[in-house]
A = this chain, B = another copy of it.
Amino acid sequence: MSTPSLLILPGDGIGPEVMAEVRKIIDWYGAKRDLPFVVSEDLVGGAAYDTHGTPLHDDTMAKAQEVDAVLLGAVGGPKYDDLDFSVKPERGLLRLRKEMDLFANLRPAQCFDALADFSSLKKDVVAGLDIMIVRELTSGIYFGEPRGIFEEGNERVGINTQRYTESEIDRVARSAFELARKRGNKVCSMEKANVMESGVLWREVVQKVHDEDYPDVELSHMYADAGAMQLCRWPKQFDVIVTDNLFGDLLSDAAAMLTGSLGMLPSASLGAPMANGRPKALYEPVHGSAPDIAGQGKANPIACVLSFAMALRYSFDQGYEAQRLEKAVEQVLADGKRTADLLGEDGVQPVSTSEMGDAIVAAL
């Protein structure tokens, strides 16, 4: 195979800062592990809007379709709050997800031992927590038509459409069952089948995929409101959770916060295999662009670094190297290195974004 290619889209806010640290890691793999990457960089989100008047230029979209994997920092910020809906920074990210057809969004919610005290939850509720949320990412109410704000009588009405086809549900269910087989072999599917017909279809298709092709995996169904409750009560009951785009947005954010490791959590968005067998893929941290601390060297680069570890695992079949990187991060944390977001009240001095990146490289 030719040298694998990466497109880096740092985006807005703390995106560029954390991505600079990931580049150190990428360079290290090229120099020390004979794993070189052809890296290009481009604009997305508010940064793209500032230059091109659009949150994702067509040329960037075309590049994203060609590379082996995209790494994205974060998009958005108050500067862009009043922009028209069609050019908001988020639309750049949503266009990437949609046009690359990245239907399976993998969001591990993991509690790092060294950070269990950070959670607002009691230590025994979160210590050792390791769940994987598989969120459908290219359909549902994020993309369904009709949508918009319309005149109706003498007032306006805001409309969005939740829409799932059987095949859309089928493929993301398969991703979840496949992942479960490599983990705890348990899937919980969440919807509101008691209220929404799209949820009725969701439940039926997930059950069918299970019965036909994954009878060995333990499957349960839960209403999404009960799911939100159970995540808050006893998250360790879950292994893999599969859910739709909108529920996945809320539930994965809640789960991420529960771990106390928000600045640490990566994500992978995967599509169908390309000609070379690698899946279409985009990797990004779960956290946002954090405009309040942007440019101050305070951001935690670990979520973005671990997103690259996911790329090593899911795009480049380098599970061993992915683990090496994950272990290096754990090592640095065990050594007591903390960015400002990870400080408790014990008087430790924070390290800067770039010091954290350097420490990870050193630990590698």
Q: Would B167 and A163 count as touching, CB distance under 8 A?
A: no
Q: Which of B195, B199, B226, B250 is A228 in contact with, Cβ under 8 Å? A: B250
Chain copies in the assembly?
A: 2
Shortest Cβ gap from A234 to chain B (Å): 7
A233: which of B120, B167, B224, B234 is its contact (CB, 8 Å)? B120
A334 within 8 A of partner (CB) = no
- Inter-subunit contact B192/A158 (CB<8 Å): no
Which of A8-16, A141-149, A209-217, A277-285 lies at the interface?
A141-149
A224, B250: Cβ atoms under 8 Å?
yes
- Checking B88, B159, B251 against A161 with a beta-carbon cut-off of 8 angstroms, the contacting residue is B159
A90 to chain B, nearest CB (A): 5
Q: Is the CB of B162 within 8 A of A162?
A: yes
Q: Which of B76, B149, B166, B233 contacts A197 (CB 8 A)?
A: B149
A113 within 8 Å of B by Cβ?
no
Known: A121-B122, A192-B249, A195-B142. A202 touches B254 (CB 8 A): no
Distance between Cα atoms of A288 and B156 in the complex (Å): 36
A288 — which chain B residues lie within 8 A by C-beta? 226
Asked whether A160 lies within 8 Å of B198 as measured between CB atoms, the reply is: yes
Query: What CA separation (Å) do A162 and B145 show in the bound complex?
Result: 11
With CB as the reference atom, state the residue of chain B lying closest to A247.
Answer: B250
* Cβ–Cβ contact B253 & A202, under 8 A: no
Give bound CA distance, A90 to B250, whole Å. 23
- CA of A125 to CA of B125, assembled, Å: 15
**Which residues of A196-222 have CB atoms within 8 Å of chain B's CB atoms?**
196-202
- Check A156–B161 contact: CB distance below 8 A: no
Give A contacts to B, CB under 8 Å: 76, 85, 88, 90, 94, 120-122, 125, 141-142, 144, 147-149, 152, 155-167, 192, 194-202, 224-226, 228-234, 246-247, 249-251, 253-254, 256-258, 262, 288
Cross-chain pairs A/B with CB under 8 angstroms, 19 sampled: A76-B194, A85-B200, A88-B194, A90-B194, A141-B141, A142-B196, A149-B197, A155-B165, A155-B166, A156-B201, A157-B166, A158-B198, A226-B288, A228-B253, A228-B254, A229-B256, A229-B257, A232-B232, A232-B257
